[in-house]
Structure 1
Amino acid sequence: MELTQATVNELLDQLSPGGGSLYLPSDLDPQAVTDLLADRYGLPRTLVLDGFTDPTVDDSKGGALLVPFEGRAVKIRAWAYGDQWVGTGTARDAEGVERPVLVVARREVPKPSAVAPDEDEDVDWLERLIRITGWTQPAQRPDVHWAEVESRLGTPLPSDYKRMVETFGVGAFDGYLDLNQEPWTDLREDGLLIWAGTEHEDLYCWRADGDDADRWPVVVRSFDGEDVPFDCQAAEFVCRILVDPDHRFTMARYFDTHWFMTYRRSA
């Protein structure tokens, strides 16, 4: 079997949308399958290594991927993608032979309506974002030296943004909205700092007015140069574009279930 992204697509099509598992030919390099999926879905989570299952694994972390192998999994890596878990690695077949595998299972996260705040509620938008994306991993960058970053930029930064970077690290919401690890200053002459962007070349910024960074409004600089203001902070803005199909910059039209794609680390 020639292993390409097209081959992986064909295999995944056999398992979607209902889910299932496949034992692949024994002469197939399981690491090559992992690498192809990592190029597509980002950095995987390890569920099983050398036959030992991570004790923290449950349904919220891809545990459904292990069910078909009935304790015979040897090494399984997993990715969240929309309403699916995708996994690959190796497992022992019915004859006890270790073979490469590919597995897909349904992924459940809270419905947007289940996490929607009341109008009068004091909302922690970062916590809401964690729930919307089904994020269960530990903080990815808890030790960022924000004092150094803020000193270099010459300005304090919004606290919700700093918590987003500490929590999620390098990657993109729904594999689409890239979270900058520190603001870009390309639009500083326009009074804007860029905290995120998309492949469509929209830039997600703050209007950096005043000393209280937590009161800076979000401004989207669209690919055609238009500035669109929003009276909210970054974490609230991301929550809203993930779940509100009527938002001007909505991502809800593409996915009903959301996730954060952690980018693959360089070797």
Structure 2
Amino acid sequence: MELTQATVNDLLDRLGPGTGHLYLPADLDPQALTDLLDGRYGAPRTLVLDGFTDPTADESRDAALLAPFEGRAVTIRAWAYGDRWIGTGTARDAAGIVRPVLVAAGREVPEPLAAAPGEDVDWVRRLIRITGWTDPAGRPAMDWAKTEASLGTGLPSDYKRMVETFGEGAFDGFLDLNQEPWADLREDGLLIWAGTEHEDLYCWRADGGDPDRWPVVVRSFDGKDLAFDCRAAEFVCRILVDPHHPYTLARYFDAHWFMTYGGNGS
């Protein structure tokens, strides 16, 4: 079987829209299929390696990919994508022969409850829930003191937690999270913490002594600014789930995920 992105599309169509699995021809290179999916969905999480399942696998989440193999999975790598879990690797068939496999399972992502007036919301925790994030911390050892010294300012604590938690990648494969703020618009009083393929820049108005009170400002591709009285993590949560937000992604995706660019979970 010649593997191309078109082949992958055909295989995923054969799985159907919900849960399904396929044992693939023995001569198919499972690493080649992993690489193609990696190019589409970002770096995978290793769910099973040499027959040993990651102990953090959750039966209500990505571990649903393992149910069809009844303990016979050998190596499975997994991706969260929209309302599905996608997995590929190898597993033993009913005759005990190790074969390449492709598997999908439905994915339900709880949306955050509305914040009550005056409620102290942990927006990073809500973002983890919205995206169904299960991987280990992406960049837990960031040297923020060095970064802040080079910028000459402290940085918002929720942004630092987002980087430490998710690492390098993009929300819904669209909103790229900068691992360090960009100072390209410093003369305008802005620090850039994220951006999109549409060339919108998500910034803070970096004035005032408390970075945790900096408002978010979106600098659009045509140079116009729109300010939001919220912090970065809350802004991301709202564009993911609020269909009426000016920069919403909720109109395009029913469930949300974080596409990892690095090797956080591999």
TM-score normalised to the size of structure 1? 0.95
Which residue pairs with 2:19 in the alignment?
19
Gaps of 5+ in 1: none
Which residue pairs with 2:163 in the alignment?
165
SS at match of 1:194: strand
Question: Match of 2:73, as an amino acid?
Answer: A
1:45 aligns with 2:45: yes
Which residue pairs with 1:238 in the alignment?
236
Which residue pairs with 2:223 in the alignment?
225
Residue 61 of structure 1 and its aligned partner are, at CA, apart by: 4.2
Which residue pairs with 2:124 in the alignment?
126
> Aligned partners of 1:264, 1:202: CA distance in 2, in Å?
23
Cα deviations by residue, 1:171-194 (Å, 9 ceiling, x for unpaired): 111111000000011111111110
> Aligned partners of 1:127, 1:198: CA distance in 2, in Å?
23
SS at match of 1:172: strand
> Aligned partners of 2:28, 2:160: CA distance in 1, in Å?
43
1:10 aligns with 2:10: yes
> Aligned partners of 2:60, 2:232: CA distance in 1, in Å?
26
Q: Are the counterparts in 1 of residues 138 and 166 from structure 2 also a CA contact under 8 Å?
A: yes
Cα deviations by residue, 1:185-219 (Å, 9 ceiling, x for unpaired): 11111111100000111100011112211111100
Residue 117 of structure 1 and its aligned partner are, at CA, apart by: 2.2
Residue 69 of structure 1 and its aligned partner are, at CA, apart by: 0.9
Cα deviations by residue, 1:74-128 (Å, 9 ceiling, x for unpaired): 1101000011000000011111111100001001221x2x533223311111111
Which residue pairs with 2:59 in the alignment?
59
Q: Is the alpha carbon distance of 1:60 and 1:137 closer, same or farther for their aligned partners in structure 2, counting shifts above 3 Å? A: farther
> Aligned partners of 2:165, 2:56: CA distance in 1, in Å?
18
Question: Match of 2:210, as an amino acid?
Answer: D
> Aligned partners of 1:124, 1:130: CA distance in 2, in Å?
10
- Provide the alpha-carbon RMSD of the alignment: 1.5
Which residue pairs with 1:144 in the alignment?
142
User: In structure 2, which of residues 213, 223, 231 is the aligned counterpart of residue 215 of structure 1?
Assistant: 213
Which residue pairs with 1:253 in the alignment?
251
SS at match of 1:115: coil
> Aligned partners of 1:190, 1:132: CA distance in 2, in Å?
33
Residue 55 of structure 1 and its aligned partner are, at CA, apart by: 2.2
> Aligned partners of 1:191, 1:142: CA distance in 2, in Å?
28
Cα deviations by residue, 1:213-248 (Å, 9 ceiling, x for unpaired): 111110001111111111111011001101100000
> Aligned partners of 1:115, 1:136: CA distance in 2, in Å?
20
> Aligned partners of 1:255, 1:20: CA distance in 2, in Å?
21
Most deviating of 148-157 and 13-22 = 13-22
Residue 60 of structure 1 and its aligned partner are, at CA, apart by: 4.4
Q: Are the counterparts in 2 of residues 194 and 204 from structure 1 also a CA contact under 8 Å?
A: yes
> Aligned partners of 1:15, 1:224: CA distance in 2, in Å?
42
> Aligned partners of 1:155, 1:144: CA distance in 2, in Å?
16
- Once the two structures are aligned, what percentage of the paired residues are identical? 77
Question: Match of 1:191, as an amino acid?
Answer: G
> Aligned partners of 1:118, 1:212: CA distance in 2, in Å?
24
Q: Are the counterparts in 2 of residues 115 and 132 from structure 1 also a CA contact under 8 Å?
A: no
1:183 aligns with 2:181: yes
1:193 aligns with 2:186: no
Q: Are the counterparts in 2 of residues 150 and 156 from structure 1 also a CA contact under 8 Å?
A: yes
SS at match of 2:192: strand
> Aligned partners of 1:231, 1:67: CA distance in 2, in Å?
45
